[in-house]
Amino acid sequence: MPRTRARAPSSSARQAAVVHRKVQTGCILWLPAKEDCLGGGARDLDEGCYAHPVVVLWADAKEAIILIITSFDSRDLADRHPSNRQVRALHLPIRPSAPHPDTGHQLALRAGAVLRKNSYVKTKRQFRVRLEMLCPYERDSAREYRLRQKSWDVLVEYIKFTPPAPTTAMMAAPGHAGVRRGATVGHPPRPALFPPAPAPGPAWVPPPPPPRRTRAYPEYATTPASLLLPAPYGAGEERRAQDRGMWNGFPRDERRPLLPNNVPEPEDSPPPTTCEALVVLVVGILGVTLLGAGLFYVRKTLGA
């Protein structure tokens, strides 16, 4: 009896195998052509995304979030984009592809598994598709292609991926934020323009102001400056009472009487007469003459 070759499972059978088995994060699946997908393709997927392997970022019982894997028609990343570093940053190589020419990243599969071609994960866009659209990477659905744990951590950190809110049938790691269809990632989210408003609380009451500090100045009642200041209210009577017992700086009982002012003033002398004036002139002339004669005699005596 001739042997019959085992027939490869059809695309619909392969897709049913994916639906009925547990899909884990980091596994490599196949996205068939649009016409071969159960229920038709997804409207968010471009035509070039079909018939390519994909890596699963998150999956539940009905949907999955995936990244497209490309081989660049068996060309290396550095050869395909030799001068565009920004485009190279949007792809991560999978071993045995060469490490990333700029960052040195290189993803690897578990158990030494390799893909049929040198492939690269396109990290720019994430797509949400129905789980029934996917099928195993190989026709033999028993073999599993999945990223190593270290490579999975590198991929998640590189694209800043956060899984959606957990559900009862979720197969991925827990998260707290969702990813919309066709979202562009690869960069951390921008911070909010304004900080969130604080939670309402009791009305704030300002504390009372601190007591005002005053400086105490001593009383300098005996200084001359205190005598220049106006007397306080009610001190006039006391000051006048003190002045009643004082006179000219001395107590009234010890004051000294002034000298009597009864001494007669001297009378004016009469002016000198003519004779008296002549006598005074003659006496002056004689005195000068005698003084000159004496000086002449003394000079003559010394000269002899």
Q: Average pLDDT of the chain?
A: 74
Peptide bond into 96 cis (omega under 30): yes
Residue 185's pLDDT band (boundaries 50, 70, 90)?
very low
pLDDT of residue 140: 72
Range of lowest pLDDT (32-46, 73-87, 146-160, 280-294): 32-46
Residues 16, 38: Cα–Cα separation, whole Å: 9
List, in sequence order, every beta strand (DSSP E) within the chain. Answer: 28-31, 52-59, 63-70, 91-94, 119-122, 127-130, 135-136, 246-247, 250-251
- Whether 235 has a pLDDT exceeding 50, the answer reads yes
- Whether 55 has a pLDDT exceeding 80, the answer reads yes
pLDDT of residue 177: 36
Range of lowest pLDDT (8-12, 111-115, 169-173, 198-202): 169-173
Return the higher-pLDDT residue of 267 and 123: 123
- Report yes or no: 92 and 121 within 8 Å, Cβ to Cβ: yes
Q: What is the mean pLDDT of residues 5-17?
A: 48
pLDDT of residue 265: 61
CB atoms within 10 A of CB 85: 10
Q: What is the mean pLDDT of residues 203-219?
A: 70
Nearest to 111 by CA among 139, 146, 150: 146
Query: Which residues, 6+ apart, have CB-to-CB distance to 278 below 8 Å?
Result: none
Give the tens place of pLDDT for each residue, 99-141: 999 999 999 999 989 999 999 999 999 999 999 899 899 877 6
Q: What is the mean pLDDT of residues 78-98?
A: 92
Residue 97's pLDDT band (boundaries 50, 70, 90)?
very high
Residues 48, 292: Cα–Cα separation, whole Å: 153
3-state secondary structure of 138: coil
pLDDT of residue 118: 92
- Whether 91 has a pLDDT exceeding 90, the answer reads yes
Nearest to 107 by CA among 58, 55, 163, 66: 55
In percent, how much of the chain has pLDDT > 90?
A: 29
Return the higher-pLDDT residue of 270 and 288: 288
- Whether 200 has a pLDDT exceeding 90, the answer reads no
Q: Which pTM was predicted? A: 0.50
Query: Which residues, 6+ apart, have CB-to-CB distance to 87 below 8 Å?
Result: 81
Structure tokens at 163: 């899984």
| Distance linking the first and last C-alpha atoms of the chain | 196
In percent, how much of the chain has pLDDT > 70?
A: 60
- Whether 181 has a pLDDT exceeding 50, the answer reads no
Give the tens place of pLDDT for each residue, 137-156: 987 767 789 999 999 999 99
Q: What is the mean pLDDT of residues 61-76?
A: 90
- Whether 231 has a pLDDT exceeding 60, the answer reads no
